[in-house]
Structure 1
Amino acid sequence: MERESMEFDVVIVGGGPAGLGAAIRLKQLANEKGQDVSVCLIEKGAEVGAHILSGAVMDPRALTELIPDWKEQGAPLNAPVSEDRFYILSETGATKVPNSLLPGCFHNEGNYVISLANVCRWLGQQAEALGVEIYPGFAGAEVVYNADGSVKGVATGDMGILKDGSHGPAYQPGMELHGKYVLFAEGCRGQLGKELEAKFNLRDGVEPQQYGIGIKELWEIKPENHQPGLVVHTGGWPMDNATYGGGFLYHLENNQVAVGYVVGLGYENPFLSPFEEFQRFKTHPTIRGFFDGAKRVAYGARAIAAGGLQSLPKLVFPGGALIGCDAGFLNGSRIKGSHCAIKSGALAAEAAFDALAAGRSSDELAAYPEAFKNSWLYEELYRARNFKPAMSKGLWTGALLFGIDQKLFGGKAPWTLHHSGPDHAKLKKAAECQPIAYPKPDGVLTFDRLSSVFLSNTNHEEDQPCHLRLANPAVAIEVNLALYDAPEQRYCPAGVYEIVREADGSNPRLQINAQNCVHCKTCDIKDPTQNITWVAPQGGEGPVYPNM
């Protein structure tokens, strides 16, 4: 069956803060200038916000620029930050760092504790009210090119393909969505963004992206343990001092608390499990008291692009641009990306609108990277550029280097630190490392993966091709298991990867439980042989995050 196609002025792939920010800005400009600009946004989640997960403490700066009256319009920013606490943890103790000693990036005055999923749902309503056509449940599966090699659009994934590759009775081919410009806002480690970076050499001369995995739970706690707007960050235990990681505890409204842990994916020990480290974090005496008599209500995980300015690729190519975390717009030092994403989307939208108004299409939007260079977003990322490479040197050395960078030079030190290489290449062989004995979950404060995935509302149709592709299935056993003790069993926070054997322990094989996948993309990033590729399953599948 031949694909049908639809034509738009601008097609946007992804309904996160970057994509929605771009869509809203395009329509605002069209309305201001009295021009008709057609904008289509596709989102792979079942609804806008379904796949959105972030801490999150939000700097409202970009939102205020985009929608100045967001408070009057009912934006769900309801918990202004009331207090900052930063602790350095040991196994049994905690040292509170005086706020006067903290760099400015750790101060959250004027920010809000939010559910980014709910903010995106609200942004989606604003976009639709302006005339943006939003199609949830449609994953961008393929880039469509013009004869001259420029980007023409995207094709949504085929539906109803069975596990053996044949067409089932409900088969429907994907649809092509053509745009004069296409903005890619898929989030961290976007499937199509990876393809575009390779095709157009967007990463030539750019340092490797650096990633983390953020794992998060949402809890309802007792009113007496709740302080709306309280923001807690931690460093140290349960990580060793050489491994980047840290915890967070954010108090939202309605007696809800978001608790989570971030582990830098440049870690060396293949026995490390980010999921188990997060569970251990909750047992610390400084943290666990918040959860007495509490109830866990949601769980999820997502990779984070944290390389900063040094790792940003070229942003434009003929016919389109990368925005948000598809490019890597995140301020790792502030642990914030939503305001960066909105701003990048707005800047790209302004460049695309001007090009359309001038009668151009399918060229490079050179005005977008130029506008970025002249924006407060560039200034902010420049001041933060040394954070991740400093912290990769270990907790104490990194804290000293970054403290000097921020306190003495205000982020404008006469040097720029560099990233040492891609995260997947930093994993050591199992024989060189010490196994880690993690405690069993108690089912009250700490949990296993499968009960956690249940709370993510994840669902995939089982009779479809696996969306986690192995370039060479033999590598999983002959290299990953033999040399690294199959680290995919541990870095995946959803129990997707499992080594199974015969009753006598022979014939190991990798079993992929793709139905558990929460779309965090960690496997695509951390696999030491880069043998695993994540591609979008059928549209609408995956997690459905409430209030995350």
Structure 2
Amino acid sequence: MEFDLLIIGAGPAGLSTAYQFMKLAKEQNKEYSVCVVEKAAEVGGHILSGAVLDARALSELIPNWQALDAPLNVPVIQDDVYLFQTEQTARKLPNSLIPKTMHNDGKYVISLGNFCRWLASQVEDMGADIFPGFTASELLFDENDAVVGVITGDMGVAADGSEKDTFMPGMEIRAKYTVFAEGCRGHLGKQVMAKFGLANDADPQHYAIGLKELWEIDPALHQPGLVIHGAGWPLDNETSGGSFLYHGENNQVALGIIIDLSYSNPYLSPFDELQRLKHQAVFKKYLEGGKRLSYGARAITKGGLNALPKMHFPGGLIVGCDAGTLNFAKIKGTHTAMKSGMVAAEVLFSALAEERHHQDLEEFALAFKHSWAYEELYRSRNFGPAMHKFGTFWGGAFNFVDQNLCQGQLPLTLRDLTEDYTRLQPASKSKKIEYPKPDGVLSFDKLSSVFISNTNHEDNQPCHLVLKEPDIPLSGNLPLYDEPAQRYCPAGVYEVVESPQQGKEFKINSQNCLHCKTCDIKDPAQNITWVTPEGGGGPNYPNM
């Protein structure tokens, strides 16, 4: 199949690219073919975010979004930030002491999955094609090493590599330009960056893991538009991160924790930290008597401007969280991801109108640098490094001065040049963390959580979590770090099991995988590579 423009990923960045491109085509009365490939069974099925949306990019992209019933139904009406000291105690911080980037006036509490479903319908109305349930598995190159498309994953392949009765080979999708908008730690985005050295001049990228639950609570306690952010407990002083509770619509609240993947204790379990968080008094008072509806997890690209790679290469562009456009100072990335896609669309449209195909669109760098998204990233360039270098308290103080008093224009740039996975300390030098057993009321186990994420993978397919060296988990990671994959994975994918017959075995329950990519990032040996499973597999998040 051949198209003028191919977009990998139907998230905010990819869909905004498609919509803006089709809008320009209609304005110029030109006809182009645009294809969006999405690995989830339906658009929005793999989308996970808090989320509080800054509508700036949306208002540029679709100015009449209100008339088109965009699912932005809950404006933020109250914005609270707490320092959690213990399970029972917390201190509410005055607004005057909070970095202004974290204020949410004029924003909206949304389901990002539902937003993407709505945006996809607008894209299709503009004439673009969206194909959910298809993975972009391999890159296609021409004789000049320019990207000319992708090959979709085979369907119906057994775990041993043989073809099942349902076998359907992947197909080549070729295009004059290909845009990678896969989200954090994209499978092909990684390959593109490595092949073309896109990150050679950037700082190491930094990541966090975000875990989220959706709850239906007592209507008497529900306050639509209430946004609560927390720092501190249950995380210790050595672990940076934060938490949130957003009151949305239909008596639902979104609760979550974000933990920087630079943490050092191999015994830390992000999943169990989330379960502990729900017992904090500020959150507990809303959740008691409620019902947990859904659960999910996703890695977050948070290195900001300093870690932003070159986003153009021969034959295409890389946008959104695949590149790392999130503004961590705002704890928001949807609006900047959308804007990066919109800028991409304008550059791509000009190139195609001039019949320049499979070029390295170097002009994108300047176009993006002139956008407000770049300006936001520049002003917040010190936010993450300050938290890493100085900790929550002093890092927060630095960011207050930088963001509130100096408008992000301090004449210095902090850098964090240490890869997240290298910060893990040996188990022998770390304090073991004893997590309380789940009570089945506020806290739950991993398997019941994975169940309500609607995660499913076709039985008897090749494992999509590939070990470069199969013996490293037991020979290296287990004695040195007590194999942290058992804990950093939020879905119970990795286990060390022991039997009298076979001794210790490293077991991979790939059918549980939430596609969060944490293992690909945090494994201290960099031995795990996440590759695309059969199309349509993974979670299917409702309202997340």
Name 2:435's counterpart in structure 1: 438
1:312 equivalent to 2:308? Answer yes
Q: Deviations over 1:375-416 (max 9, x none)?
A: 110110111111110111311121122122112211110001
1:451 equivalent to 2:453? Answer no
Name 2:76's counterpart in structure 1: 81
Q: Deviations over 1:325-364 (max 9, x none)?
A: 0000101111101101110011001100000001101011
1:419 equivalent to 2:416? Answer yes
**TM-score normalised by length of structure 2:** 0.99
Is the 2:238–2:264 contact (alpha carbons within 8 Å) kept by the matching residues of 1?
no
Matches within 5 A, 1:484-499: 484-499=481-496
Equivalent in 462, 470, 474 of residue 471 of structure 2: 474
Distance 2:251 2:96 in 1: 29
Name 2:39's counterpart in structure 1: 44
Give, as a single letter, the amino acid of the residue that structure 1 aligns with 2:286. Answer: F
Distance 1:445 1:503 in 2: 37
Distance 1:184 1:344 in 2: 12
Name 1:206's counterpart in structure 2: 202
Which consecutive residues of structure 2, in runs of 5 or more, have no partner in the other structure? none
Name 1:538's counterpart in structure 2: 534
Distance 2:113 2:337 in 1: 14
Matches within 5 A, 1:19-38: 19-38=14-33
Is the 1:247–1:261 contact (alpha carbons within 8 Å) kept by the matching residues of 2?
yes
Distance 1:10 1:319 in 2: 10
Is the 2:244–2:255 contact (alpha carbons within 8 Å) kept by the matching residues of 1?
yes
Equivalent in 499, 502, 507 of residue 502 of structure 1: 499
1:7 equivalent to 2:23? Answer no
Deviation at 1:428, TM superposition (A): 0.7
Equivalent in 534, 541, 547 of residue 543 of structure 2: 547
Give, as a single letter, the amino acid of the residue that structure 2 aligns with 1:234. Answer: G
Distance 2:209 2:428 in 1: 25
Deviation at 1:367, TM superposition (A): 2.3
Name 1:231's counterpart in structure 2: 227
Deviation at 1:169, TM superposition (A): 1.3
Deviation at 1:245, TM superposition (A): 1.3
Equivalent in 355, 358, 362 of residue 359 of structure 1: 355
Is the 1:84–1:107 contact (alpha carbons within 8 Å) kept by the matching residues of 2?
yes
Query: How many residues are treated as equivalent by the alignment?
Result: 542
1:174 equivalent to 2:161? Answer no
Give, as a single letter, the amino acid of the residue that structure 1 aligns with 2:127. Answer: G
Distance 2:98 2:264 in 1: 28
Name 1:165's counterpart in structure 2: 161
Distance 2:499 2:482 in 1: 17
Is the 1:214–1:303 contact (alpha carbons within 8 Å) kept by the matching residues of 2?
yes
1:277 equivalent to 2:273? Answer yes
Distance 2:332 2:43 in 1: 20
- Aligned with 1:223: secondary structure? coil
Name 1:57's counterpart in structure 2: 52
Q: Deviations over 1:131-177 (max 9, x none)?
A: 11110000110110011100010111011110001111111110111
Name 2:183's counterpart in structure 1: 187
Name 2:426's counterpart in structure 1: 429
Name 1:383's counterpart in structure 2: 379
Is the 1:184–1:322 contact (alpha carbons within 8 Å) kept by the matching residues of 2?
yes
Deviation at 1:503, TM superposition (A): 4.4
Distance 1:238 1:96 in 2: 16
Equivalent in 137, 143, 152 of residue 148 of structure 2: 152
Distance 2:200 2:288 in 1: 51
Name 2:107's counterpart in structure 1: 111
Equivalent in 109, 120, 126 of residue 122 of structure 2: 126
Distance 2:521 2:61 in 1: 33
- Aligned with 2:298: secondary structure? strand
Distance 1:70 1:363 in 2: 34
Give, as a single letter, the amino acid of the residue that structure 2 aligns with 1:325. Answer: C
- Aligned with 1:231: secondary structure? strand
Equivalent in 404, 407, 411 of residue 410 of structure 1: 407
Distance 2:291 2:471 in 1: 43
Name 1:3's counterpart in structure 2: none
- Aligned with 1:260: secondary structure? strand
**TM-score normalised by length of structure 1:** 0.98
Give identity over the alignment, percent.
Answer: 56
Runs of 4+ in 1 over 4 A off after TM superposition: none
Is the 1:245–1:261 contact (alpha carbons within 8 Å) kept by the matching residues of 2?
yes
Name 1:93's counterpart in structure 2: 89
Deviation at 1:508, TM superposition (A): 1.3
Distance 2:20 2:142 in 1: 26
Distance 2:513 2:139 in 1: 23
Is the 1:241–1:396 contact (alpha carbons within 8 Å) kept by the matching residues of 2?
no
- Aligned with 2:309: secondary structure? coil
Equivalent in 460, 463, 470 of residue 460 of structure 2: 463
Is the 1:26–1:37 contact (alpha carbons within 8 Å) kept by the matching residues of 2?
no
- Aligned with 1:198: secondary structure? helix
